[in-house]
Amino acid sequence: MRTRTEYLRAWRAANPEKVKAAKRKYYSSEKGKAQKRKEDAAYVAAGGKAAYEKRRSAKPLSEARKQAKLRYQIVRRSFEKNLPEFDRLVLTEAVDLMRKRSAITGFSWHVDHIVPVSKGGLSVASNLQVVPAEWNRRKSNVHTERYFGAY
């Protein structure tokens, strides 16, 4: 006779799509989001993130990835060097505001692109905002309107 654990293990192996759907549903709920934050914090506290970063840095980049990174850096730097005067002024002011807010409030702030650079956003006045760093990290490279629409 099989134990419950053996039965569940066999069922999960036979139904991977159902398992994925159940996890997706759970982690999209408020309870699941809170659990995910706890799991992430425990992972970082246990040194898992540091170990992952160490393994990742030890692994060499493929030639294609190196070339892609280089192309991205060249395009971004050349664009920021060639910014119109007004956009350069706004970017400089945003960086100054970010530093001042960090000094006043005691927590980090970021200059955020409303439409992420990775999705075609530019460092122009209409695409910049100064936001709390925690919020910006959570938002990642999601368009601000889509990020707010998810909640």
pLDDT digits (tens, 9 = 90+) for 20-39: 999 999 989 999 999 988 99
- Residue 15 vs residues 12, 28, 57: alpha-carbon distances, Å: 5, 20, 35
The label of the residue with tokens 């840095």 reads 57
Q: Is the pLDDT of residue 151 over 50?
A: no
Domain ranges of the chain: 1-59, 83-151
pLDDT digits (tens, 9 = 90+) for 100-133: 999 999 999 998 888 887 778 888 888 888 999 9
Sequence-distant (≥ 6) Cβ neighbours of residue 127 within 8 angstroms = 113, 114, 115, 121
pTM above 0.85, yes or no: no
Q: Residue 8's pLDDT is what? A: 93
Q: Say how far apart CA 113 and CA 136 lie, in whole Å.
A: 9
